[in-house]
Structure 1
Amino acid sequence: MNHHDDCKTAYRIAAPVAKARFENFKRKGCYLSLGLAFVATIAGCSAPERSRSLGNPSISANTIALQVCSNCHGVTGISVSPNFPNLAAQPPLYLEAQLKSFKSHGRSDPAGFEYMWGISARLTDAQINGLAAYFSSQSPAPGKATDPALHKNGQMIFEQGIAATNTPACAGCHGTKGEGMQLFPRLAGQHADYIVKQLQVFQRTDERPEGSVMKTIAHGLTPEHMESVAAYLEAMPSAQ
């Protein structure tokens, strides 16, 4: 098959997939991500190193990051839609652990099942390590302004915890600046909506079994607590 036929095949595959997923993306407000995903699939045909075959171990992690991951998470790991987390400046060990958890189907929250199982299944360990290195080296997302009352309440929870429910301070594991460490993710600058959704996952399900510590903590949080701490974290200034 020549290069021209290769591209026609890619288009033939990408078009129905894009159409089938349109309603799902529309429901999530991800028009940009849908368009980029379709364009990236076709644009990959003219790239010097093409990533359309994720099962190819010779494809570099940087190419996968730019041609695949960027569709949802942004070229520099800062996503446009809160449905997809910021990956920029996340601890590399955390990123590696999450990709491996997706690959083994250990992490089965809805977003993971829908998007990440298929992608991670075809990544080699070397590519996983390379992707973690790529995104961890990016500059973190800047903080966003938030409601002063939410900010104040969220800061108290983050720094002091909630004594009434024996909920420990978030800073104890995630760093005093929300920068994350080792297997604990960066929370500073993360989308507030995404943080709330993940807290709900920890609270209500076993879809993230590696987060057993967070399951206990999340049970001590009310919806108001979640909203406050998420707003505070989204507003936190960048810190490497």
Structure 2
Amino acid sequence: MRGAINRSQLTLALCVVALMGCSHTSDRASQKISTMPALALVDNVCALCHGLTGESVSPTFPKLAGQQKDYLKAQLTEFKNHSRMSKAATEYMWGFTHLTDTQIAELADYFAAQPPMQALAEAPDVRGELIFRRGVPDAGIAQCSACHGAQGQGQGLTPRVAGQHAAYMVSQLKVFQQADLRLRGDLTSEIAHTLSDADAESVAQYMATLGRAP
């Protein structure tokens, strides 16, 4: 019984760290994270929002299943270093200052090895497909497939978008429109900032349907 209570208390403490970020009251729990094996972190922390296999249910939290390993490592490192300034990043991920490089690598390996994100079973968005495959030439917007791959599979530091929550992708496109929220100033910021709200919705809906089993 005591072991169950202690595990419950640790899980609660880790939730506080994950949801509230670094603070004096959560520092002890945050330091506890640095001693946990990666699989224990998945079970006690990551799964609370992203699901045990990275197939999150809520569109607030991105799916991690089958995501590119290098991309996951880069994102976890940015969360650790507080380089992500969006509201969601500061609310949910700023408690991971004490993650070690080994934990980051093992977490990335774990989620990258899971079956790829489950795609929506809906019919693809026609306008979204055009944007994904051809861009919006009149607005100088390149096709998404040029970086994310013909099937949205991603590569290296470029994330997999196939099967990702459409609502999450829309929120990220809006983040990329605000350069101060993504300090790297990468190519995505240059491409996405001119997308209209309607076009962002369309291409996100299309990408969410990619990767379905034949």
- TM-score band w.r.t. shorter chain: 0.7 to 0.9
What is residue 24 of structure 2 aligned with on the other side?
none
2:75 alignment partner in structure 1: 98
AA at the equivalent of 1:165: A
Q: Which runs of 5+ in 1 are unaligned?
A: 25-50
State the shift of 1:4 in Å.
3.0
Question: Quick one: distance in 2 between partners of 1:238 and 1:63?
Answer: 30
The yes-or-no answer on 1:126 pairing with 2:102 is yes
Whether 2:131 is the aligned partner of 1:157: answer: yes
TM-score, normalised via structure 2 length: 0.85
Quote the Cα distance in structure 2 between the aligned partners of 1:95 and 1:13: 23
1:1-240 counterparts in 2 under 5 A?
Answer: 4=2, 7=5, 11=9, 14=12, 53-56=32-35, 59-118=36-95, 120-146=96-122, 151-238=125-212
- Contact preservation (8 Å) 1:102, 1:108: no
Q: Which has the larger radius of gyration?
A: 1
Residue 234 (structure 1) shift: 0.7
Using the TM superposition, give the Cα deviation of residue 140 of structure 1 relative to its aligned residue in structure 2, in angstroms. Answer: 1.1
CA distance in 1, matches of 2:48, 2:67: 18
Distance 2:4 2:118 in 1: 40
Q: CA deviation at 1:62?
A: 1.6
Unaligned runs of 5+ in 2: 21-29
Percent identical pairs in the alignment equals 42
* Mapped contact 2:11–2:45 kept (Cα < 8 A): no
- Tell me the equivalent position of 2:25: none
Q: Does the 8 A contact of 2:123 with 2:209 survive in 1?
A: no
Q: How many residues align?
A: 201
Alpha carbons of structure 1 residues 210 and 218: separation in structure 2 relative to 1, 3 Å: same
Which has the bigger relative contact order, CA under 8 A and spacing at least 6? Answer: 2
**Pairwise CA RMSD of aligned residues?**
2.7
Shifted more, 191-200 versus 209-218: the winner is 209-218
TM-score (norm. length: structure 1): 0.76
Quote how far apart the aligned CAs of 1:93 are: 0.4
The 8 Å contact of residues 68 and 159 in structure 2, kept in 1 or not, is answered as yes
Query: Structure 2 vs 1, CA of residues 132 and 238 (structure 1 numbering), >3 Å: closer, same or farther?
Result: farther
2:167–2:204 Cα contact (<8 Å) kept: yes
The 4+ residue runs of structure 1 with deviation greater than 2 A are 3-15, 145-148
Mapped to 2, the partners of 1:188 and 1:176 lie a distance apart of 10
Hey, what's the Cα distance between the residues in 1 that align with 2:11 and 2:73? 29
Indicate the structure with greater helix content.
Answer: 1
